[in-house]
Amino acid sequence: MTIGIVGVGLIGGSMAITLREKGFAQKILGSGRSEKSVDKAMELGLIDEKKKLKDLITESDLIILSVPVDALKEMLPQVLDAINDKQVVIDVGSTKEGFLKVIKGHPKRNRFVATHPMAGTEYSGPEAAVRDLFKGKCTVFCDVEESDKDAVALVEKMYDDLGMKIVYMDAVSHDLHTAYVSHISHITSFALALTVLEKEKEEKAIFELASGGFESTVRLAKSSPDMWIPVFKQNRHNVLDVLYELIYQLKHMKQLLVDEEYEEFYKLIEKANEIKKIIK
């Protein structure tokens, strides 16, 4: 099996490590935007050969598109135009509805499987690739009825080798749920980082006082805008919907403090604590 990874960064590079170790892939080809990052992926041993996109498509059995979702929307129709009836293409993008509309009715739509491995870190690029990033986590397959059974089976085997549990969902539900559980947490973290940078002018105090709580809540604010702006753009309506709710909650808490309504605030935190029932 020859795999071609377009965008050998955190997700593509981490997949390469495990898929080679598990023997799923015998050869891994890589291509990307800048020479620098593909060279780095070679140097780190993530890929065996660097290729131009056109050659990578011709020479791969399975093509993994691991680029930001706006680039994916541009690239996917061209990739599908160039493949034969045996090759399989997948994406790992954080949004689905927008680009799936673009390829609806494409004669090779059946060779494409839309997936979203729900695993990541705040780091990006080939240097961020790590072993076991996906192990024990869940991956979402979207609109599988649009894909050939053999293509879905191959990709299921791939995610099984990555140690992931598969969840099946339609693209519209995927974008809605990921806005709630993933995209909004990044917005909250960016806002928290900006708030602290604005209010706390003494960097030394941030370093010295930042304990577990602050560090863990602000961790996602280190994430790259190259990846996240396209996600917010593609999933704008769902992210806005949940952002209005977040702003409402913040305003409510502010008002309780202004009015010194500590009993109400106490009850609100007790209600928030109920998240323990869902996430241990």
Strands 112-117 and 49-50: unpaired
Smallest gap from residue 272 Cβ to ligand NAP (A): 25
What is the separation, in whole angstroms, between the first and last Cα of the chain? Answer: 39
Name the one range near ligand NAP by CB under 6 A: 5-13, 17-25, 172-180, 239-247. Answer: 5-13
Beta strand pairing call for 138-142 and 112-117? antiparallel
Residue 236 sits in the site that holds ligand NAP (CB under 6 A): no
How far is Cα 191 from Cα 199, in angstroms, rounded to an integer?
12
State the nearest-atom distance from the C-beta of 126 to ligand NAP, in Å.
Answer: 6
Q: Which member of 3, 10, 46, 89 binds ligand NAP (CB under 6 A)?
A: 10
Name the one residue in this structure whose structure tokens are 């680029």.
Answer: 67
Name the residue nearer to ligand NAP (CB basis): 13 or 144.
Answer: 13
Which one of residues 20, 32, 221, 238 is an interface residue with ligand NAP (CB under 6 A)? 32
- Site residues for ligand NAP, 175-234, by CB under 6 A, read 224, 226-227, 231
Give the one residue of 9, 64, 159, 234 binding ligand NAP; rule: CB under 6 A: 9
Strand partners of residue 141:
115, 168
Give dist(CA 93, CA 265) in Å, integer.
Answer: 38
Q: Which stretch binds ligand NAP (CB under 6 A): 6-14, 149-157, 207-215, 250-258?
A: 6-14
- Dist CA 178 CA 157 (whole Å): 24
CA 190 to chain CA mean position, Å: 17
Q: Is 34 in the site for ligand NAP (CB under 6 A)?
A: yes
Interface residue with ligand NAP, options 93, 98, 114, 243 (CB under 6 A): 93
Q: What is the DSSP string of 129-174?
A: --TTSSTT-EEEEE-GGGS-HHHHHHHHHHHHHTTPEEEEE-HHHH
CA separation for the pair 153, 198 (Å, rounded): 50
What is the Cα–Cα distance from 132 to 146, expressed in whole angstroms? 30
Q: Report the residue from 63, 117, 152, 239 that binds ligand NAP according to the rule CB under 6 A.
A: 117
Residue 134 token pair: 């996906």
Contact letters for ligand NAP, residues 118-147 (x by CB under 6 A): --x---xx--x-------------------
Exactly one of 79, 92, 179, 239 binds ligand NAP (CB under 6 A); which one?
Answer: 92
Closest by CA to 137, choosing from 157, 119, 123, is 119
Answer yes or no whether residue 66 interacts with ligand NAP by CB under 6 A.
Answer: yes
Residue 11 as a binder of ligand NAP (CB under 6 A): the answer is yes
Residues of this chain that bind ligand NAP (CB under 6 A): 6-12, 32-34, 37, 66-69, 71-72, 92-94, 116-117, 120, 124-125, 128, 224, 226-227, 231
